Amino acid sequence: MSVFIEEEVVPEFDFDYKSLLEEVIEEALDYMDCPYEAEINVILTDNENIQSINKEFREMDRPTDVLSFPMVSFGKPGDFSFLEEEQSCFNPETGELMLGDIILSVEKVREQAATYGHSEKRELAFLTAHSMLHLFGYDHIEEQDRILMEKLQEEILQKMNIHR
């Protein structure tokens, strides 16, 4: 597994956020039974930059907590079976599955942790698990999909012993 972390802002968390990002990503890959080594890019940014990206790609002119940019188009969320024939999804140098990019607003992590009354560590882990599910093809547009995503997110975090 390769996790590339780019810091547009340097978070001053009171925990090892790089290790946490890697652990949540690895737990999500294991939870989903991903049969491949994977490559994920994580960008830590601020509200201004994520708002610009949100406006450009989603036509929403407001900051958001996390954006996910999958590089794999899953026919069925979490179903990796089609990838054997889809070599364009793999890094030719490493052979790793290129899942995509996660962009996180450090400011939103802090804001939402305070709003929801839990730690910044829990909020960062939650947003990372949420984004990983998007990279696996899940969404939360329909109510039943939202319920499923929430269940999967919580199960991933519970396996890591991260609770509200």
Binding residues for Zn(2+): 130, 134, 140
Q: Is the dihedral of CA 64, 71, 102, 52 positive or negative?
A: negative
Asked whether 84 and 147 are in contact (CB, 8 A), the reply is no
Per DSSP, which regions of 78-146 are E strands? 97-105
DSSP 8-state code for residue 122: H
Per DSSP, which regions of 11-137 are E strands? 38-45, 66-70, 97-105
Amino acid (1-letter code) at residue 85: E
Binding residues: 130, 134, 140
